[in-house]
Amino acid sequence: MSKTTTTVEKPIQIRVFPKRLLQPDTAEKVLNEIDRVEGVIRMLINGKNLPRKVTSGPGTGTDVNHPDRKLIHVGDCAFELHIIVGEILVEVDDEAAVEGVRGACERALPFSFEFKRGHFIKRRPTLADYGKYGFRSKTDECINLEDERILGLIDPHVKAEGNICVVGTDEKK
- Reported as a single tens digit per residue, the pLDDT across 112-123 is 999 999 998 877
169 in a structural domain: no
Determine the Cα–Cα distance for residues 151 and 149; give it in Å rounded to an integer: 6
Q: How many CB atoms lie within 10 A of CB 63?
A: 10
**Could you tell me the pTM of the whole model?**
0.76
- pLDDT class of 1 with cuts at 50, 70, 90: very low
Helix (H) or strand (E) holding 85: strand 83-92
Q: Are both 96 and 25 inside the same structural domain?
A: yes
Helices (H), the chain: 24-35, 95-108, 127-133
Q: Are both 75 and 136 inside the same structural domain?
A: no
93 in a structural domain: yes
- pLDDT class of 38 with cuts at 50, 70, 90: very high
Per-residue confidence (pLDDT) for residue 10, from 0 to 100? 83
Per-residue confidence (pLDDT) for residue 19, from 0 to 100? 96
Whether 133 has a pLDDT exceeding 90, the answer reads no
Determine the Cα–Cα distance for residues 2 and 64; give it in Å rounded to an integer: 66
Domain that holds residue 61: 12-121
7 in a structural domain: no
Contacts (Cβ under 8 Å, ≥6 apart) of 70: 24, 80, 81
- pLDDT class of 142 with cuts at 50, 70, 90: very low
Whether 151 has a pLDDT exceeding 70, the answer reads no
Q: Write down the number of H helices and E strands in the chain.
A: 3, 6
Most confidently modeled range among 50-64, 100-114, 147-161: 100-114
